[in-house]
Amino acid sequence: MGVGSPTQLTTQPQQGSDLRKGSDKGLAKVSVIVIAFRDHSVIGVCGDRMYWIRSKKLKERLALGFGASLVLFTLLLVIDLQMDLGVSRGEFIPSHGRVRFASEDDKSGIYNEFHRKYLAKSNASGSKEYLTTNPHTRGRTDTSGAGYPSKQVTTAPPHDRFKDLTALVVAPKNRRNPQFYERIVVKEDQSDDENPTLAEMLDLRVSPNATNLERFQLSITKNELYAKSDKLVDAVIQDMVSMPIKHVVQKEGGTQIKLIIEYPNDIHALFKPMRFPREQQTLPNHFYFTDYERHNAEIAAFHLDRIMGFRRAMPVTGRILNITTEIERLCDDNLLKTFFISPAGNKCFHGKCSYYCDTSHAICGSPDTLEGSFAAFLPTQADTQRKVWRHPWRRSYHKRRKAQWETDRDYCTMVRDIPPYDEDRRLLDLMDMSVFDFLTGNMDRHHYETFKIFGNDTFPIHLDHGRGFGRPFHDELSILAPLLQCCLIRSTTLETLLLFHNGPKSLSETLRDSMANDPIVPVLWEPHMVALDRRVAIILQAIRDCVKKASEEEDFDAAGQNHLDQSFS
């Protein structure tokens, strides 16, 4: 075959799906005639058709690949927004919450300003928390508890009586021309406020043979769980301490083990067992949502809620149980299967739950004696339904992602426009809750509940305080974010804080007296008592900063108005 001579090549019909898809219908075979010459080549019509088919498939592949890449890229962005993988390198805020920041360094206004000032002050005076966690200083402690510093590093500053805040509390309310500070320290009119009980709302009468808990539940009012001088509180506590236990079952749901205690008279209590000693602090590498729950925190929180005048927490008391006779022999089969004897000879059980319900995180007696907290039950949902609300200052419950309130300086402005926070008492109640949680150190406030029958103008119930009182040497200022961002507090709450701060009895002394008769006294480790008084002063300083900032803005507005008046005169 010469190089310059033409050559006719005939190919047989190609079998397979590729050719059938690219060919016209009814085409039986394809003949490709290629005539090659030394200087040039000619491609036949059939060759053009095959080239077009192959070229089209390549474009389709490219199109499919490009489309798949777009889908994967979009999916990656969506996952990044939800899981914060670090691709977007930022926090996306919904359009209704976006604002322009006057200063990129201060996106949370007075909250960040107060936070920076407090940290600078703490660093200058020396951190006790560092002394409790630093292995080089851990040996220089006394025997009052693990990691408690034996000596003060600095001298305590002079006592500040906050006379400026006291003047705001005692000042009469100006109805015609409200002063600027009345937007911060709010004085409510409760003289004509109706305060019906559950019994009145349900049209029920208390039967003569009703239990103390049933009487307590029916006496719950629109404004509080119990009155200041209500003797039923102590009666309910005494019943939970002294009455024999009839049956035990594990409470469904929740992240950690809790038991429902049933008494012979058909009343119930929620039991949280003791996990570790009083002086055990929150593990430094634990997030707030994985922290252990502490039984003594529930007891102390109830007493603190009571002496602060909130009265929004159900009665809680401590009690010492025998695991064998009062739990193991009275529990259901599911819980019974988790009992065992530890290598140290102690009776243990772990139940079933989301966290810490396995052999390595078991609840153990000494050897079979166990203390825990007993919380009285709220009325059943069948009698009085409760509405669950998502807390506006809820944390992200994520290892890296931040909540919107942590990045938006005008977050409170948005919250004020949303029912039920736009009227009545609810926003003030959240300020009380912020103060209460800051005093206990509880960061785990994601939801709260109210009684539906009372509508929206009622109090939030203070529930679930097991993650409080875990870090006595650390003050978590982010818990005060609602108060610092809104610059709002009840006058009665401020008055109570000032009373404890200036005496004659401090908050820690009052709380110690309140818990003196509890069966598991001492309820709290002493450093937690010191922390309470320290945190009272921090709250008062935060309110002072709010008033100062509002005063500066008031003076600025007045100066601007005077300038305008002079310009037009």
Tell whether residue 310 is among the known ligand binding residues.
no
Torsion, CA 84, CA 89, CA 418, CA 450, rounded to 10: 30
- How many residues are present in the chain? 569
Q: Per the annotation, does 449 bind a ligand? A: yes
What number of other Cβ atoms are within 10 A of residue 200's Cβ? 14
Phi, psi of 262 (to 5 degrees): -110, 130
Residue the block writes with tokens 């009703």 = 210
Residue type, 521: V
Residue 483's nearest CA partner among 532, 528, 432 is 432
Amino acid at position 53, single letter: I
Amino acid at 373: S
Question: Is 293 a known ligand-binding residue?
Answer: yes
Task: Tell me: is residue 377 an annotated ligand-binding position.
Answer: yes
Identify the three-state secondary structure at position 207.
Answer: coil
C-alpha distances (whole Å) from 2 to each of 7, 33, 35, 38, 44 are: 9, 17, 13, 10, 21
548: region left, alpha or beta (phi > 0 left; psi from -120 to 50 alpha): alpha
Instruction: State the burial class of residue 215 (Cβ atoms within 10 Å of its Cβ: 0-12, 13-18, 19+).
Output: middle
Query: Which run of H or of E encompasses 270?
Result: strand 268-273
- Going from the C-alpha of 535 to that of each of 117, 245, 247, 541, the distances in angstroms are 15, 39, 41, 10
Token output for 86: 């670090």
376 is in an annotated binding site: yes
Instruction: Tell whether 337 is in a known binding site.
Output: no
Q: Which residues are catalytic?
A: 444
Token pair for 38: 């030394």
15 annotated as belonging to a binding site for a ligand: no
Sign of the alpha-carbon dihedral angle for 321, 325, 328, 331: negative
Residue 341 pairs in a beta bridge with 347
The helix or strand, by DSSP H or E, that contains position 74, with its residue range, turns out to be helix 45-83
Query: Which residues carry a binding-site annotation for Mn(2+)?
Result: 293, 464
Query: Which residues carry a binding-site annotation?
Result: 256, 272, 293, 375-378, 449, 464
Query: Which residues carry a binding-site annotation for ATP?
Result: 256, 272, 293, 375-378, 449, 464
